[in-house]
Amino acid sequence: MSKQQTAGHLLALLLLCGSCSSNTPESLVHFKLIRESVITVPVLVNGRGPFDFFFDTGTESSLIDPRLAEELKIAPVNRVLSSNPGGERAVIRGFADEISMGTMKVLHSEIIIADLAGLHSVSPHIRGIIGENVLSHFDYVIDYAHSQIRWTSDVNPEGAPQGMKITMVRRRGCPIVVGRTNQERDLQLSLDSGSSHLVLYRPTVPTSSRILVARLQGSTGAVETSTMVIPHLELGDVSLWGLQTALVNKPQTQEIDGLVPTRLFSAVFVNNSQGYVIVRKK
């Protein structure tokens, strides 16, 4: 969500089917995985579609291509400041009457009208992004082994993976877990379904590390960057070894130290209602 909100946005009605279970086809959505990290899901907007949207836990606001917004009669309302792990920017905001994926349904949802040129370089069929202003209201499993998003709940978490539990908080609308390398201080890492590699913002990188030039695939396309190998990363009680890591300049206003991709695991259960995630290692 953006920093500025309207009364209509505060009164947005969020509906999740109470009869969802892993035994009904409506309780899951099959996704396509493009270039190993970009999850696309079929989305209905204002009852029309489905359209391919990028499923992105690392973006605060949902976005829609200007041409599709015009086609669906989603009119610009105003300009607001939007935050994501890359910083802040002024964007054009509108509202969708309804956004739905399977049994997940959100009414009168804020949506940013913005060019998606970076994503179109990944796939020309992507028409928008489902971000945390929608996803944060639901509990779900990202199941890479079966290419599924499954809606679930803390009361009846059917299909939730068996694995390690990690505490999660939110900063600037994005889910954050605490990581630790061989450095002494904790790293605030955004749980990101759109990154292909672990990302660390400078100056959190050890100056003695060997740094190479590489190409990083992210939610806005591929960019030239520097990389290094992190020998060991701990997320709660989860240990990850030998991680190829992209290094980028840290935005001045950012409160996080980097991004940890959900793609590092075979399944991730995001429990927004209780503030934790469960990860299953590959």
CATH code of residue 54:
2.40.70.10
Domain tally, the chain = 2
179: domain range?
Answer: 164-281
Domain end residue (candidates: 152, 177, 192): 152
Helix, strand, coil percentages (3-state) for the chain, rounded to 5, are: 10, 55, 40
Q: Half-sphere exposure of 84 toward its Cβ, with a 13 Å CA cutoff?
A: 22
Tell me whether residue 232 is in a domain: yes
What pLDDT, on the 0 to 100 scale, is given for residue 114?
92
What pLDDT, on the 0 to 100 scale, is given for residue 249?
74
Judge if 118 and 27 occupy the same domain.
yes
Judge if 144 and 175 occupy the same domain.
no
What pLDDT, on the 0 to 100 scale, is given for residue 182?
75
Find, among 101, 55, 65, 62, the residue nearest to 195 by Cα. Answer: 55
Judge if 125 and 234 occupy the same domain.
no
Tell me whether residue 159 is in a domain: no
Q: Which stretches of 55-122 are DSSP H helices? A: 66-71, 117-120
Judge if 146 and 170 occupy the same domain.
no
What pLDDT, on the 0 to 100 scale, is given for residue 267?
94
Judge if 169 and 133 occupy the same domain.
no
Give the Cα separation of 191 and 142 in Å (integer): 12
The helix/strand/coil state of 97 is strand
C-alpha dihedral sign at 38, 44, 45, 49: positive
The amino acid present at 247, given as its one-letter code, is L
Judge if 141 and 181 occupy the same domain.
no
Q: Is 270 exposed, middle or buried (0-12, 13-18, 19+ CB in 10 A)?
A: buried
What pLDDT, on the 0 to 100 scale, is given for residue 183?
67
Angle CA(135)–CA(247)–CA(145) in degrees, nearest 5?
45
Residue spans of the chain under pLDDT 70:
1-26, 82-88, 153-160, 183-184, 202-224, 250-254
What pLDDT, on the 0 to 100 scale, is given for residue 7?
31
Judge if 184 and 204 occupy the same domain.
yes
Tell me whether residue 138 is in a domain: yes
